[in-house]
Amino acid sequence: MEPKLIKNIIEKDTAIDSRFLNQLAYNEKMAELGQLAVGVIHELNTPLSVIAAATQLIMREERLPEHVFELLERIGTEAQRLSQISRSILTFGRLDSGEGCEADINLVIRDVLQLLVYEIQKRSVQISQRLDHGIPILSLDAGRLKQIFINLVMNALHAMEGGGAITITSARSGDDICEIRVSDTGHGIPPQELENIFEPFYTTKKAGEGTGLGLFVTREIVTAMGGSIAVESRQGIGTCFILRFPLSLP
């Protein structure tokens, strides 16, 4: 056998072994994620149940000011949403497309920004919205979309502790795609880290400040709904996440 052919066979076998080892490592990460998810669910459910129950009791009080009642109602709603999010972490591998649901993408974006208004103001971040009001209602789950945008906006805020700007745009791309961009003027992501940011447990935050699950779960939800997510970033300039969803599911 010629030496060149032998070399090619060895290189091919090495590549196969490398892919096999990478797959084993990925499977181990998935197993770790499952164990962590169970722990997260147990830790979250008790305080969330207390919050929901206490909110309902307070709302029964007579002569409660209307604005206080509305705030309590919102707290209860968000507590329920958090419970749904915790359950979705366990079942992300079985997420369906959301077919049969309906969502106004621009309304979802505005709701998320209103929900995070305190965090936005606290960090002195300016928000710009350029939303295309000609986008039709999408056949997607509004609750899961809200989870996606909360994750992306919070990531942007964490990248701009000293202030900055977030720009959110929505537009039609061609005849069948809705494209949403979430851009910030934060510190950016180093090139060597970009390829890893959607991996489970991968985080650039300090110990105790992040689990490394936010972007991973975000990508899983986007993919399950038939969409795609990409990222562009330049250090010292900022980061942009690009989401694309079908205007009508097949």
DSSP category for residue 99? B
Count CB neighbours of 193 within 10 A.
13
Burial of 57-79, coded b for 16+ CB within 10 Å and e otherwise, reads eeeeeeeeeeeeeeebeebbebb
Cα–Cα distance for residue pair 132/55, rounded to 1 Å: 37
Same fold across 3-90 and 105-246: no
Q: What is the pLDDT along the chain (250 residues), one digit of tens a residue?
A: 545 554 454 455 555 556 656 666 665 666 666 666 666 665 676 677 778 778 888 888 888 888 888 888 888 877 776 766 665 555 554 444 455 578 899 999 998 898 888 788 888 899 999 999 889 988 888 888 988 898 899 889 888 878 899 999 999 987 789 999 999 998 888 888 888 788 776 566 554 445 566 788 888 889 888 999 999 999 889 999 999 999 864 4
* pTM of the predicted model over 0.85: no
SS (H, E, C) 45-64: HHHHHHHHHHHHHHHCCCCC
> What kind of fold does domain 3-90 have according to CATH?
Helix Hairpins (1.10.287)
Domain boundaries defined on the chain:
3-90, 105-246
Residues 6+ apart with CB under 8 A from 230: 241, 242
Measured between alpha carbons, how far is residue 42 from residues 38, 75, 218 in Å? Answer: 6, 20, 21
Indicate the class that CATH gives domain 105-246.
Answer: alpha beta
Among 118, 114, 51, smallest CA distance to 82 is for: 51
Cβ(86)–Cβ(106) below 8 Å: no
